[in-house]
């Protein structure tokens, strides 16, 4: 059972739901009168994206991209590769990049620069979790769900070795599970 591998629950389903709604209200206020293009960076953000986009009461379009930086280890390599690019042209669009976690900043620092070069009207970042202690590269975060300690967090889209993404809450993985 997945639950046996969890040391403690950080954010329950209810807490996540109410925080996602609060972020959506901030976004609605800031983007009033504009159409947002939400970009989900796969795979970790798919659940947050699904919940967030349904909370936002403004016209939205959605697109998805995939980058690889982690492999199956526990820390970012600094090597970032686009493995699936967007389907849509973002020129002149109001882009909101949706991420599950901002950690070292390697992925987002690179990705945001790539997207800026495509000349969107504006670009902002929304991350459900922020681990500021781990930051190596600077990244401006406009919408932050929660600040989290430097523990191995899984669930609500976040994985360890591709597992635990389907846990409905966010928890800390027991160190013995990943050999920590
Ligand atoms: C996570 C997350 C970000 C990145 C953040 O993705 O979704 O893209 O790591 O880490 P960084 O700030 O250290 O660059 P991951 O590479 O684990 O892939 P996944 O979303 O498919 O799980």
Mean of pLDDT over the chain: 94
In a domain, 20, yes or no: yes
CATH, residue 94:
3.40.50.2020
- Domain hosting 127: range is 14-149
In a domain, 80, yes or no: yes
44-74 pLDDT per residue, tens: 999 999 999 999 999 999 999 999 875 545 5
128-137 pLDDT per residue, tens: 999 999 999 9
Q: Buried b vs exposed e over 139-176: b needs ≥16 C-beta within 10 Å?
A: beeebbbbebeeebbbbbbbbbeeebbebebbbbbeee
The mean-pLDDT minimum among 29-38, 62-71, 117-126, 170-179 falls in: 62-71
| pTM of the predicted structure, to 2 decimals | 0.94
88-134 pLDDT per residue, tens: 999 999 999 999 999 999 999 999 999 999 999 999 999 999 999 99
Active-site residue set? 103
- The pLDDT score that the predictor gives to residue 127 is 98
| Mutational test site, ligand 1, from 49, 79, 101, max ligand atoms within 8 Å of CB | 101
Return d(Cα 135, Cα 149) in angstroms, integer: 12
In a domain, 155, yes or no: no
- Dist. CA 100 → ligand 1 center (Å): 8
- Dist. CA 101 → ligand 1 center (Å): 7
Smallest CA separation from ligand 1 atom 6, residue:
44
**How many domains does one find in the chain?**
1
The position carrying tokens 């009168």 is 33
């Amino acid at each position: 059972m997945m639950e046996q591998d969890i040391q403690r629950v950080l954010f329950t389903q209810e807490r996540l739901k109410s925080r996602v709604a609060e972020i959506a209200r901030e976004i609605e206020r800031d983007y009033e009168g504009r159409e947002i293009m939400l970009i989900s960076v796969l795979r970790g953000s798919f659940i947050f994206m699904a919940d967030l986009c349904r909370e936002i009461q403004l016209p939205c379009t959605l697109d998805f991209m995939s980058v690889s930086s982690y492999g199956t280890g526990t820390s970012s390599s600094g090597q970032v590769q686009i493995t699936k690019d967007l389907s849509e042209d973002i020129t002149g669009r109001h882009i909101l990049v949706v991420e599950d976690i901002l950690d070292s900043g390697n992925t987002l620092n690179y990705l945001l620069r790539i997207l800026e070069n495509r000349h969107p009207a504006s670009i902002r970042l929304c991350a459900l979790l922020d681990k500021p202690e781990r930051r190596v590269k600077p990244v401006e975060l406009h919408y932050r769900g929660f600040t989290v300690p430097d523990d191995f967090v899984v669930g609500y889209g976040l994985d360890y070795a591709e597992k635990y993404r389907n846990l409905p809450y966010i928890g800390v993985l027991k160190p013995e599970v990943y050999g920590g």
